[in-house]
Amino acid sequence: MPAMLAHAQTDTALINELEKKGVLTEKDAQDIEASEAKSYAETGASKIVLSDAIKTIQFYGDLRLRFEMRDGTTPGGVLQTGSSSVSTSSGLSKVGPDSQTMNRWRYRLRFGAKGDLYDNFFWGIRANGNPTYDRSGNVTFGHSDGAGPFGKGFQDLAIDEVYLGWHATSDITLTGGQYNNPLYTTNLVWDDNINPTGATEAYDHTFGDVELFGSANQWIYQAGGGNGITNTANNGAGTGINYSNTFMYAEQIGFKYKFDKDTFFKMAGTFYTYSGTVGNNPAGGTVAGLYSSTPINYSGANQSPSYFNGPFVGAASAPISNVSGINDLAVLEVPMEFDFKIGPGMTTTSSGDPKDMKDVTTTTSGWSVPIRIFADFAYNTEADERANAARGAIEQIYDGGTYLGSSNLGVTSAGTTTNNVTTAAQNKAMINSPTFQGVLNSGKGLLDQSAYQIGFEAGQLKHKGDWDGKLYWQSTGYYAVDPNLVDADIFNAATNLNGVVASVSHNWTEGLSSTIRYAYATPVNGQLATPSVNQDLQIGDIRNYQVLQLDVMWKF
């Protein structure tokens, strides 16, 4: 027999319970079930036939419309980090500071299905827009590849969740596939559009007022022969390619302590590590051999030293992506929050039958506002090594006033194929510029090695008319976290930025809300660039950044 829908199962359970209590006779129960079955057969839902293997199914999704303004500027001055320059016979000359503003009308569409199988198994599948950028899902209206007006070149859909799971016990859950991030975390470390792929073993048990939870996660960060974020490796013998997977591991343990039904404190610790982080040319013998062969073009837009965004081992194939390397990352994250309510609101609970706690009536008088104080801290325990790798690549190309060649891969000036006087002068000037000297002289401080977020939220969006306001400060150090995972919506997917974020949201009706959000940021370390991977603004060294977003969201 086809599986019944969830609401039909609930109605049957209620009828059976009323029959047990003597409220309904057996005949009354049969008559009601027969009437329900007849009504159901007359609806369109009865034409949906499900496999006998499916116990329940739920369709869900959301649609977000957004207007967004992003703006970033870089400083001026000859050979400053934001200056585009051109090559001349006498060295370099200044063109001007860089800046960029983007005004876009966008949407994000996600929809899927999930449910239960029998014997405590469950499943899910979801589609998302813009498969070319995993950290967004946003599609810009009218965007096309030069095909004409009203473009729809990026309006493709891709599967971003597909998983099976098993509730092995009441406390232990096993999940495999690609699924929503199971970790208790924040956008300081993880963009919430990124769904990890692999396996998770989760534990959750409540002891009185204390809930203990934790998980072990083994994720396929990038498959061998993937898109180059971490690269695959030549076998070193020159006889072929050895494609190896890159893995990410995350172990979390945490607790939640309930003071009462409206007040609790929650905290966790998570440790992230990686394996298989090899570069694309390990036989080269130098750190510089792991970076792009495309040099900086001083005469091009944003091709100043500000364009230099690394280097880190395992970089992709362009200078702006050098930051994507995941060498020397072993990150400890500690998120936490304290939730409570303020206001004179009083809740009264009464029961018609003291012995039967299912027959409960709850009434609330007065007003109350949910309050959440939250924080997150992340520290890269291998930040010193990560900084040393960046220094090493620069030191290998220019040492003691002597230019060592054009194979520094990602940091040479354009068109230099011979070691002539002009090339040496240009590279000497570049190495002495603030951006490169910043890499050579920083990375040891706590703010470069760590990231933190602290904020305050009032309100909660649950029902029609609800409001929510949020204000927080965030700082992400240059060497602190995985640059491929940080949030793209607010801080441009960049590290070495700190600033304030404020937002106000309102539920106009059930499932329909709007949000106004504004953020402003500056560099954490003014000597360093603000590297980003797959960013929206393309300038490599943002000195002043701001974003304004106006959203309308429908959840269904």
140 phi and psi angles, rounded to 5 deg: -85, 125
Task: Enumerate the β-bridge partners of residue 273.
Answer: 249
- Mean pLDDT over residues 373-383, rounded? 96
Q: What is the pLDDT of residues 323-369, one digit of tens each?
A: 567 778 899 999 999 999 998 875 655 555 555 555 556 666 677 89
The pLDDT value given to residue 441: 75
Q: What's the start-to-end Cα distance of the chain, in Å?
A: 28
Omega before residue 311 within 30° of 0, cis: yes
> 119 with 130: CB under 8 angstroms?
no
pLDDT score for 514: 98
For the chain, the domains span 6-47, 106-452
Cα dihedral sign, 354-357-359-364: positive
Which of the two residues, 119 and 542, has the higher pLDDT score?
Answer: 119
- Which of the residue ranges 43-47, 107-111, 536-540 would you say has the lowest mean pLDDT? 43-47
Question: What three-state secondary structure class fits 310?
Answer: coil
pLDDT tens for 6-41 read 455 556 667 677 767 777 777 777 777 767 766 666
In this predicted structure, what is the pLDDT of residue 50?
76
515/549 Cα distance (integer angstroms): 8
- The percentage of residues in the chain with a pLDDT greater than 70, rounded to a whole number, is 63
pLDDT value of residue 416: 43
Paired tokens of 220:
């396929």
Where is mean pLDDT largest: 99-108, 203-212, 214-223? 203-212
CA distances from 303 to 85, 306, 319, 335, 546 (A): 8, 7, 10, 38, 22
pLDDT value of position 391: 72
pLDDT digits (tens, 9 = 90+) for 438-464: 777 777 789 999 999 999 999 999 999
Q: Which two tokens stand for residue 234?
A: 């030549």
Six token digits for residue 314? 């395992």
Which band of pLDDT confidence, cut at 50, 70 and 90, is reported for residue 231? very low
Q: Which run of H or of E encompasses 65?
A: strand 54-73
Torsion sign (Cα): 442, 443, 446, 449: positive
- 153 vs 399: which has the higher pLDDT: 153
Q: What is the pLDDT of residue 370?
A: 95
Kindly indicate the confidence band of residue 478, based on its pLDDT and cuts at 50, 70 and 90. confident
The predicted structure's pLDDT at residue 78: 37
DSSP string, 220-243: EEE-TT-SSSS--EE-SSSS-EE-
Which residues have C-beta within 8 Å of that of residue 222, sequence separation ≥ 6? 229, 230, 245, 246
Cα 454–Cα 528–Cα 404 angle in degrees, nearest 5: 150
Please state, in angstroms and rounded to a whole number, the distance separating the CA atoms of residues 407 and 393.
11
Residue scoring higher pLDDT (296 or 425): 425
Find where tokens 């945490």 sit.
Answer: 254
Quote the pLDDT of residue 3.
Answer: 43
Query: What's 394's DSSP letter?
Result: H
* Strand ranges (E), 366-441: 369-380, 398-399, 402-403
Task: Give the pLDDT mean for 379-391.
Answer: 85
Q: Are 244 and 278 in contact (CB under 8 A)?
A: yes
CA separation for the pair 50, 40 (Å, rounded): 15
**What is the distance between the alpha carbons of residues 164 and 426, in angstroms, rounded to a whole number?**
57
Q: Which amino acid makes up residue 37?
A: A
pLDDT, one tens digit per residue, over 512-542 is: 999 999 999 999 988 777 776 666 776 667 8
